[in-house]
């Protein structure tokens, strides 16, 4: 497929891998965090770890929107969906995210809640228009990538003068999360991870541009290389990061020039700003309460705000005490280091959100990479 195959070319990958191997200084260790679940997915799906020398290590970041959503918000969504007359529209990867007491949206649907899986937030508006007797709530989640489409959907609902459509807004902001990873101030247990640099977000950066990372890179002296989600993008970004580390630089560089500019997508930014404003505080799974880290609807759009319409007050809900999604999301632990991984927690019966979304670090490692946990597997591949 044109414009896809070019970025998955095995020969090119091997030549970049050879350069990584020759430029990485043998006596030192390189630890880079890929912020986005999309990168985590690509690294696992294409087996990128096999192309890297042993002293270049990738750790997974918190950039999976499903994973950072706290349990209390899923509880809220289930309660909303169970209300008579309410139709909850959601992206499919939220369906199996565990809520309190072993509940999830899939089970709520089976129990009679009207929950519909949609591909686009616009579909929720169309459902509301077609079914005026239902109140349609769109369960909006995601970083800056999905926020513009939620904003446009609210705009559309307003133009159509719909009174039976609202949004349960859980949109969060990327730069705040990166700062939380780099600084220790807001981490629940004060633990922090030492990384040598970041692979910066792909799709998020198409919206916000590379400018928001400049201050972060300078303040914490960590290089950030914004990269696309194709596997060649990732290996090239790793090479650029190694060069920055070797040269003692901490710049923001843009590998994803085919889609990302410094200033980002101004139309999308305006659409977001028109409808949303900052929340004072929002809870992130794994990162705790982060000030000014999430969005809510402006007062002018209150009629489309499900939280106001249904007077939702999120109650704090504890994760399974043995679940280490929090440490995994901060890059402090690898998925296989969690006691639950592969024992009681698997994609069929996820205990934590990192095992649910295909972008979650645990699900990606389980689905694509767990054979590496056994040394024997290497021998199998070599023998076959």
Give the residue among 314, 259, 323, 231 at the shortest CA–CA distance from 286.
323
Of 101, 119, 133, 299, the one binding another protein (CB under 8 A) is 119
Check residue 384 for interaction with another protein (CB under 8 A): yes
Binding segment for another protein (CB under 8 A), chosen from 77-85, 134-142, 192-200, 363-371, is 363-371
Please name the helix (run of DSSP H) or strand (run of DSSP E) that holds residue 114, with its range, or none.
strand 114-117
Closer by beta carbon to another protein, 118 or else 214: 118
x/- letters, 210..249, toward another protein (CB under 8 A): ---------------------xx-----------------
Closer by beta carbon to another protein, 233 or else 253: 233
Check residue 82 for interaction with another protein (CB under 8 A): no
Of 6, 10, 131, 280, the one binding another protein (CB under 8 A) is 10
Check residue 208 for interaction with another protein (CB under 8 A): no
Check residue 136 for interaction with another protein (CB under 8 A): no
All residues at 6 or more sequence positions from 278 whose CB lies less than 8 Å from its CB, including other chains: 292, 294, 295, 296
The least distance separating another protein from the CB of residue 274, rounded to whole angstroms, comes to 26
The least distance separating another protein from the CB of residue 380, rounded to whole angstroms, comes to 5
Of 46, 276, 282, 304, the one binding another protein (CB under 8 A) is 46
Angstrom distance (rounded) from CA 232 to CA 97: 31
CB 43 within 8 A of CB 267: no
Give the residue among 146, 236, 245, 126 at the shortest CA–CA distance from 195.
245
Check residue 47 for interaction with another protein (CB under 8 A): yes
- Given the DSSP bridges, would you call strands 276-278 and 135-142 parallel, antiparallel or unpaired? unpaired
Check residue 366 for interaction with another protein (CB under 8 A): yes
All residues at 6 or more sequence positions from 23 whose CB lies less than 8 Å from its CB, including other chains: 239, 242, 243, 246
CB 197 within 8 A of CB 241: yes
26 burial class (0-12, 13-18, 19+ CB within 10 angstroms)? Answer: exposed
- What single DSSP character describes residue 43? H
Contacts to another protein by CB under 8 A: 1, 4, 8-10, 13-14, 17, 44-51, 95-96, 106, 118-119, 123, 231-232, 346-348, 358, 363, 366-372, 374, 376-377, 380-381, 383-384
């Amino acid at each position: 497929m044109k414009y896809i195959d070019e970025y998955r070319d095995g020969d090119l990958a091997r030549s970049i891998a050879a350069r990584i191997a020759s430029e990485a200084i043998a006596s030192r260790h390189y630890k880079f965090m890929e912020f986005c679940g999309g990168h985590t997915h690509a690294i696992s799906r294409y087996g990128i770890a096999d192309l890297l020398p042993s002293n270049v290590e990738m750790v997974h970041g918190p950039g999976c929107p499903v994973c950072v959503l706290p349990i209390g918000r899923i509880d809220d969504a289930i309660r909303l969906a169970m209300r008579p007359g309410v139709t909850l529209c959601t992206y499919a990867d939220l369906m199996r995210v565990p809520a309190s007491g072993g509940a999830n949206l899939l089970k709520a649907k089976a129990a009679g809640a009207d929950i519909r899986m949609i591909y686009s937030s616009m579909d929720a508006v169309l459902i509301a228009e077609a079914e005026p007797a239902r109140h349609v709530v769109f369960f909006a989640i995601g970083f800056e990538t999905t926020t513009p489409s939620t904003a446009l959907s609210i705009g559309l609902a307003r133009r159509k003068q719909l009174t039976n459509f609202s949004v349960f807004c859980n949109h969060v902001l990327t730069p705040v999360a990166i700062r939380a990873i780099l600084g220790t101030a807001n981490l629940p247990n004060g633990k922090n991870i030492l990384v040598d640099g970041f692979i910066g977000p792909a799709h998020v950066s198409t919206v916000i541009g590379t400018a928001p990372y400049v201050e972060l890179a300078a303040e914490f002296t960590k290089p950030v290389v914004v990269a696309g989600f194709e596997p060649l993008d990732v290996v090239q970004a790793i090479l650029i990061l190694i060069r920055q580390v070797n040269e003692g630089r901490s710049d923001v560089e843009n590998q994803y020039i085919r889609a990302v500019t410094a200033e980002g997508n101004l139309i999308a930014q305006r659409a977001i700003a028109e409808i949303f404003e900052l929340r004072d505080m929002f809870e992130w799974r794994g990162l705790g309460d982060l000030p000014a880290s999430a969005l809510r609807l402006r007062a002018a759009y209150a009629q489309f705000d499900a939280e106001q319409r249904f007077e939702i007050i999120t109650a704090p809900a504890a994760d399974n005490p043995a679940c280490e999604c929090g440490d995994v999301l901060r890059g402090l632990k690898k998925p296989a280091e969690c006691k639950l991984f592969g024992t009681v927690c698997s994609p069929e019966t996820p205990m934590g959100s990192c095992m649910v979304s295909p972008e979650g670090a645990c699900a990606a490692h389980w689905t694509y990479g767990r054979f590496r946990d056994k040394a024997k597997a290497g021998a199998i591949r070599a023998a076959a």
